[in-house]
Amino acid sequence: MSSLLGLTAHELQGLLKKKEISSTDLVKEHLTKIKTVDDKIKALVTVTEKEALEQAQKVDEQRMRGDELSPLAGIPMALTDNICTSGIRTTCASRVLENFVPPYSATVTEKLQREDAVLLGKCNLDEFGLGATTENSAFFATHNPRDLQAVPGGACGGAAAAVAAEEVAFSLGSDTGGSLRQPASFCGVIGLKPTYGYVSRYGVIPCASSLDQVGCLTRDMMDCALVMNAISGHDPLDSTSLSGKAPDFTEFLINDVQGLKIGLPKEYLRGGLAPEILASVQQAAAKLEELGAHCEEVSLPHHEAVLAAYQIIAAAEASSNLARYDGVRYGLRVEGEDMDALFKKTRSQGFGAEVKKRIILGTYVLSSEQYAAYYLKALKVRTLIKKDLARVFQDYDCLLIPTTPTVAFNFAEKQKQVLTGNLDIFTSPANLAGIPALSLPWGTVQGRPVGLQLLGRAFGEETLLRVGYTLEQNTELTRLRLKGKGVS
């Protein structure tokens, strides 16, 4: 029943409730799609076929008994392979953890299990989340389902590609500086990075702890709200988790932006931005004005320092987090003549080039000689960036900027190194400030998706979901079907 592929989670749940389909049939259909196309896309590192069919059968039995089930019960989904799954390999796309099977699950994994969502597999990523194209995986590069010649973005390119390729209905990934939103933009799906602390990070293998946040990749805004309902809320195992109960995110899906004030940061709409991306932002702003919002130019004066501050902080925290992979406690172990040799050989053979580069940079900026000049200064700049955003949010409900400065580029693109280095410029401010950010598809340019990005004040997901839902309900540009040069 190929018509099931590409439907949203809530559309599939409607069919399940009417008993027009079974969860087992639904899961089999998606597993068949994975077997058909994933040799070309390579979105998944591990496919959990046996476990998925067992879980689907369990949900079908519960439904037959008349048990009350959650909105995600029986729905096929995937997790990025840095989210721990008890008894299922979790690799971070690294040789260091190639055979690591966690003895426990991440909190978000357990929450989805309680919702009876069905895990179909673990998705490819840049090794330990360090990269922007998912080419830095130790196993293989992931391709963009919209156009196989193009990169899917990164670091969580596999999770975005799996949703775009209709292999799963939704997925989870981590976002350190745009790791989830940037591939959402390139692959033409919705990507939400929640406010820091809304979703537990316990059991999510860290890259840069003060920047990392788990988010979701979905096909529409309703699915985004349903997944957020399932994974958000306080977790006593995560000291950075917010206290209290999270809201019902579906209540924020209001088709009305009348009276909202939306800022357009002028520094983000200048040079270095592809003309077609700028035109898309202007088109979206005009549509929001037509629907009753008020859009006007605002200023974020520390824009030029964002990328440098992010790269220094991310490298410093990554180098500290990666120090635990030494061949002694778990993961890869390469024997040496003494302990020092064991450390060196394990890390030399276990880590890829991008990870080694970040470790070297991070160790350098944290050294006693360079700490004040680089890391401490980056922290001060981070405070200035947060103050800029807080000042703007006193007068504006949200900000509208591009997700990326260009559409997805080819693997062989001559300018790839330059493009890759600048991809975080629009996404990293949200991580530095700990605020929510939503990437929404907005049509295509030469067949490749364009992503709009909405930034909100801390715990301001309500506004982002409201604006995103209104655009979704009033234009066809936010729903992209698989076609063209990709895998259909």
pLDDT tens digits, 214-231: 999 999 999 999 999 999
Q: What is the mean pLDDT of residues 247-257?
A: 97
- The mean pLDDT of the chain is 94
Q: What is the pLDDT of residue 282?
A: 96
**What is the bridge-based pairing of β-strands 170-175 and 76-80?**
parallel
Q: Does the pLDDT at position 1 exceed 50?
A: no
Reduced to 3 states (helix: H, G, I; strand: E, B; else coil), residue 354 is helix
pLDDT tens readout for residues 133-148: 999 999 999 999 999 9
Reduced to 3 states (helix: H, G, I; strand: E, B; else coil), residue 402 is strand
Round to whole Å and give the CA distance between 427 and 448. 19
Structure tokens at 49: 């076929």
Q: Which of 381, 413, 207 is nearest to 307 (CA)?
A: 381
Question: Got the DSSP string for 418-478?
Answer: HHHHHGGGTTHHHHHHT--EEEEEEEEETTEEEEEEEEESTT-HHHHHHHHHHHHHH-STT
Q: What is the CATH number of domain 1-488?
A: 3.90.1300.10
Q: What is the pLDDT of residue 244?
A: 85
Q: Does the pLDDT at position 24 exceed 70?
A: yes
Give the global pTM.
Answer: 0.95
Round to whole Å and give the CA distance between 280 and 275. 9
SS3 content of the chain, % helix, strand, coil (to 5): 45, 15, 40
CB neighbour list of residue 397: distance below 8 Å, 6 or more residues apart: 260, 261, 262, 456, 460, 463
Domain ranges across the chain: 1-488
CA dihedral 15, 13, 486, 269 (to 10 degrees): 140
For the chain, the C-alpha Rg in angstroms (whole number) is: 21
pLDDT tens readout for residues 410-422: 998 756 665 666 8
CB neighbour list of residue 224: distance below 8 Å, 6 or more residues apart: 190, 192, 216, 218, 249, 438, 465, 468
